[in-house]
Each structure stands twice: as structure tokens, then as C-alpha cells.
Homo-oligomer: A and B are copies of this chain.
Amino acid sequence: MLINCVLYQEGKKIRDIPMDENARWRAEGDGFVWVALKDATVGELEAVQRQFGLHELAVEDALQGHQRPKIEEYGDSLFFVIPLVEMRDGELQMGEVDVFVGPHYVVSVRSRSEHGFLGVRARAEREPHMLRQGSTFVAYALLDAVIDRYFPVLDALESELDRIEAQIFEGGAARSNIMRLYKLKQQAGELRHAVAPLMEALGKLLGGRAPTLCLPSQHYFRNAYDHLSRINAATDSIRDTIGTAIQVNLSMVTIEEGEVTKRLAAWAAIVAVVPAFAGIWGMNFKYMPDLEWAYGYPLAIGLMVAACGALYSRFRAAKWI
């Protein structure tokens, strides 16, 4: 679906170009055309391919979707596959923005995403001194907008980790902790699989061997790279912490089990006193003088209670109970 298609010159919007005005889609002079598509059909993609001479392999990748994040050079043009990561109802949703950039065009194709990028265009049009950098700045602006959406996802993961940590040392939630840690590790993995290759690809746009198309926006791409490394480091840190947390959770379970064992054993010992004594006075020996005593019975009961009490206070002192 075509969202819009606009001609820019010297950083300013010149006019909207209708979909059917095929012959004049190409930018005139030194401006560029910015085409935004959403869940593009084969026909739409073939149309822009013909217009701007996009490379067959890039178009194929955009059609298939679910590509690995990457930035590829095809001659003097670039092809970005930027992963979209959104958190909906506690689940990560993975979308994709594919951006084709040539000296005189930018084509962005958004797939499997709820939120659009109209704000990016609006902001870019408010800053003509930026837009004057050319079509690559648009690619940067889109990339930057996508990266900005990673941060709330990262925050959600970090908050979940905080919540789990608060429970680990409280005990009694070992099973749910481990389930949540497992899920969190997978989500952190998904975020990482989006961020890490994108960062790596972006790294190639920086430094001495960057494509000429990117040179005017070098500082901006480096800034985006920086944000990605921050997210990447934070994700690695979450994953590492989860590993430790799983170990710690197991340790806590084992410790708790040990405590339960001790408590049970203590009570078992206390209770075992009664039948031991009772068994003795339940024997049928003919000559058992204690059985004849007038206060034998209450004394026996008293002895049992005293023995239990002694054990109880001893276990109490040893903190087993």
C-alpha cells in the first residue's frame, strides 16, 4: 500500500507525486523522491524497481521479508533491512522496514508493524537544513526512529528482570521465577538478534571505507551506531544476569529444601519421643515396678512432654525450627 510519495529539493518538500504519474516519478535536478510503502504488494515493489532500477536481489529480499538485519551496497545505492521490535501484551512482535536508498530516491517498505513513520517525515520536513544532506539522511532518520522504539522494549525487559530478582530471594516462587527467566532470556535473545547484526552492518558504513553516499551523514550514522551498542551491551548484560539468576534460583531452591529437611527432621525427632517412651511402658514384663506407682502415668506423660520440650528448645536454638 502506498502511503505517500513526495519530491524534495534543497531540503524542502516540492510536491506530492501521484502513484500513476509514472514517467515523472524520478527526481528532477539534484533533489530526491521519498516513497513510503506499507506491506507492499509484488506489483508495487516491481513498479518502484522499474522506476529506480533497484537490484533484483534486494527486491526479492524485501518481498520475502524475515531477512537478517543488514545494509548492502548495490553499486551506488544502499539497501537497509531494519528489524522492528515491538512489545504487545508481553510478547515481542517482529516487523521489518526495508529501505532502498539511491542518490535521487528513498523507498521505505514497512511490514508487520502497527505504528507508522509519518512522524519521521513530518520532523524531517521541519528541519530542511538536515534534509539537505540528501536521501541518505532520510535513511538515517528512519533508522533512528526504529532504534528509538527499541528502548521501551529494552526497558520492559529490564523491568521484568527487576521484578523477578525481587522474588528470587524471597522464596516460594521458584517455579514461576524459572519460567519467567526462561521467557525473558528468549526475548532478550530476540532483541539481540535484531540489534547485533544491524550494529555490525552499520559499523561498515563508518570509518575509512564507507560508501560515498553516506559521507555527509557520517556523524549521524555513528550516533545511531552508538545507540545500538548501548542497547546491545544492555541486552548482553540482561542475558548474562539471567544466567546467574537461574543458577541463584537453583541455589535458593536447594537451600530452602535443606531447611525444610531440617525442620521436618526436627519435628520427626520430637514426635518420635512419644512412641519410644510409650513403647517401654507398654511392655508386658511381669515385674515392672514403675507401672505400679500411683503417679506413674502422669509422670510418664510429664517425662514425654519434658523430653519433647528439651528437643524443641534445642532445635530452636540451632535455628532448625
Binding site for B on A (CB under 8 A): 55, 57, 61, 67-68, 70, 72, 74, 165, 168-169, 174-175, 178-179, 181-182, 185-186, 189, 193, 197, 219-220, 222-223, 226, 229-230, 233, 237, 240-241, 243-258, 260-262, 264-265, 267-269, 271-272, 274-288, 290-297, 300-301, 304
Contacts and interface: CB of A to CB of B under 8 A. Distances in A.
Contacts of A178: 248, 251-252, 255
Contact of A283 (B61, B240, B260, B278): B278
A251 B249 contact: yes
B233 A193 contact: yes
A292 B295 CA distance: 16
Nearest to A260: B262
B240 A189 contact: yes
B253 A255 contact: yes
Contact of A294 (B185, B193, B280, B287): B287
B287 A279 contact: no
B282 A288 contact: no
Contacts of A280: 274, 278, 301, 304
Contacts of A220: 57
Contacts of A189: 237, 240-241
A179 B169 contact: yes
